[in-house]
Amino acid sequence: MANQLEQLKQFTTVVADTGDFESMREYEPQDATTNPSLILKASQQEEYAHLVDTAVADFGGSRPVEAIIDRVLVAFGKEILQIVPGRVSTEVDARLSFDEAGTIAKAKEIIALYEDEGIERERILIKIASTWEGISAATKLEDEGIHCNLTLMFSLAQAIACAEGGIQLISPFVGRIYDWFKKDTGKEYTGADDPGVQSVKQIYNYYRKFGFETEVMGASFRNTSQIIELAGCDLLTIGTGLLEELQNSGEPIEKKLDPAAAADSDVEAIKMDENTFRFMMNEDAMATEKTAEGIRNFSADIRKMEKLIADKM
């Protein structure tokens, strides 16, 4: 019988959530996602240090540290695209999460670097935090053919704003929602009762019921139960530890998310504007806290990357 990873690939596009090239070769995902934390971790490993060293050697004398980081991100992305057949997600500096113009400018710089390397923009997703400013920037970028992956997503309000903006893909964070509710209530959640799982199902049903084409990619998993409950989601981005668990299990998986079932769901349409978005976020303590925390953490890792590169320079 097929293992769980093979079964999952029948229902869902599997994406590798890692900066580790060898893991990608082993698990053969369609796409790959990166973030500042993953790139920082990989950059400190001996087998990947040469990517940083090359960027510093080639550009360290004439470019600011910020520009060298962009070169490192693109160097990792270029290597990843030689392994996966699909797309790679590359993240904009989280410190620009409330700067629409800055986000647009940075995204264009990253795309230009990829295109200078001969990589077409259709294979790149620019990762941007799901703030109002980030979503507004991504909407404008999509109009110019630069496709985006809206990350740090924890609420239906964020998802609706992205769908109405014509964003290519969103990444609802299952595990971080689970973490918040577990800490807040003291309860353990499993299977369909997991609030992170329920959030992605709600978003998926909303998109499919109302005909939005934005892709839903569940992210930030804590266990394989969360993944199995979302079989049928458009995409799932999974860390290497959980990919290994799925590969080593022969238990059956069945499709849990389905467009036909979504059409019969009881979700109601909400017309999103900035006032509605900000009020819904204000009413959702979990989404507000986890979005802010994620931005802080990714910003901290960018600063660590800056120090790593500055020390090499």
* Residue 111 pLDDT greater than 90, yes or no: yes
pLDDT at residue 60 is higher than 80:
no
d(Cα 66, Cα 17) in Å, to the nearest integer?
24
User: Which one is predicted more confidently, 56 or 143?
Assistant: 143
Q: Provide the pLDDT for residue 41.
A: 85
Judge whether residue 45 has pLDDT over 90: no
Residues whose CB is less than 8 angstroms from the CB of residue 45 and which lie 6 or more positions away in sequence, other chains included: none
Residues 6+ away with beta carbon under 8 Å from 149? 33, 89, 125, 126, 127, 128, 168, 169, 170, 171, 217
61: pLDDT strictly greater than 80: no
Q: Nearest CA to 235 among 47, 51, 91, 33?
A: 33
Q: What is the mean pLDDT of residues 129-151?
A: 98
How is the chain classified by DSSP, letter by letter? ---HHHHHHHHSEEEEE-S-HHHHHHH--SEEE--HHHHHHHHTSTTTHHHHHHHHHHHTTTS-HHHHHHHHHHHHHHHHHTT-SS-EEEEPPGGGTT-HHHHHHHHHHHHHHHHHTT--GGGEEEEEE-SHHHHHHHHHHHHTT--EEEEEE-SHHHHHHHHHTT-SEEEEBHHHHHHHHHHHH-----GGG-HHHHHHHHHHHHHHHTT---EEEEB--SSHHHHHHTTTSSEEEE-HHHHHHHHT----------HHHHHTS--------HHHHHHHHHH-HHHHHHHHHHHHHHHHHHHHHHHHHHHH-
Domains of the chain: total: 1
62-66, 145-149, 263-267: least confidently modelled range: 62-66
**Those residues with Cβ within 8 angstroms of residue 160's Cβ, 6 or more apart along the chain or in another chain:** 206, 270, 272
Tell me which residue of 79, 141, 152 sits closest to 112, measured CA to CA.
141
Position 54 scores a pLDDT of 86
* pLDDT of 62 above 80: no
Rounded to an integer, what distance in angstroms lies between the CA atom of residue 304 and that of residue 215?
A: 32
The C-alpha angle with vertex 24 and arms to 18 and 29, in degrees rounded to 5, equals 100
Which CATH number covers residue 74? 3.20.20.70
Instruction: Tell me the residue range of the domain where 122 lies.
Output: 4-312
Q: Which residue has the higher pLDDT, 312 or 257?
A: 257
pLDDT category at 309 given cuts 50, 70, 90 is confident
What lies within 8 Å, CB to CB, of 207 at 6+ separation is: 159, 163, 213, 214, 216, 262
Contact of 202 with 231, CB cutoff 8 Å: no
Q: Given a cut of 80, is residue 32 above it in pLDDT?
A: yes
Please state the pTM of the whole predicted model. Answer: 0.94
Interval 278-302 mean pLDDT: 97
- For residue 81, is pLDDT > 90? yes
Return mean pLDDT, the chain: 94
106 among known catalytic residues:
no
More confident residue, 213 or 46: 213
CB 58, CB 262: distance < 8 Å: no
Residue 59 in this model has a pLDDT that exceeds 80: no
Q: What is the CA radius of gyration of the chain?
A: 19
Q: Which one is catalytic: 41, 78, 108, 127?
A: 127
Residue 166 has pLDDT above 90, yes or no: yes
How much of the chain exceeds pLDDT 90, in percent? 81
Tokens 């979700």: give the residue: 267
Range scoring the smallest mean pLDDT among 18-22, 92-96, 250-254: 18-22
Q: Average pLDDT of 270-277?
A: 97
Q: Supply angle C-alpha 62, 33, 247, rounded to 5.
A: 140
